[in-house]
Amino acid sequence: MKHTAELRLVRVVAPHFVAGFETDGVVRRAAPIIRYLVGKTDDQARQYIKSKGWKASIIPDHSPPDSGSHPFLLA
């Protein structure tokens, strides 16, 4: 079954890093520092981010990069 939901890019800001992850309701890809979130639902990711005191925001009008581009941002 092919997944057709639109991916959204979420920016996470913490005291010691800024990172991103892509989600379509479930975190599909994430920067290495937050790879724990891969496979988590948006609600689970939101709860984890809040528990750490971090801030997250959706980046509007994001088109996912081609595979191979920006390898340091998303793993």
pTM, rounded to two decimals: 0.76
Cβ–Cβ < 8 Å for 61, 8: no
pLDDT value, residue 18 = 98
Q: Assign 61 a pLDDT band (cuts: 50, 70, 90).
A: confident
On whether residue 33 sits in a domain, the answer given is yes
On whether residue 32 sits in a domain, the answer given is yes
On whether residue 72 sits in a domain, the answer given is no
Alpha-carbon gap, residue 5 to 47, rounded angstroms = 22
* Total domains, the chain: 1
Q: Give percent above pLDDT 70 in the chain.
A: 76
On whether residue 3 sits in a domain, the answer given is no
Q: Which domain holds residue 25?
A: 8-58
What's the Cα-to-Cα distance from 46 to each of 14, 57, 70, rounded to whole Å?
14, 10, 24
Mean pLDDT value across residues 45-58: 97
pLDDT value, residue 75 = 42
On whether residue 74 sits in a domain, the answer given is no
pLDDT value, residue 64 = 57
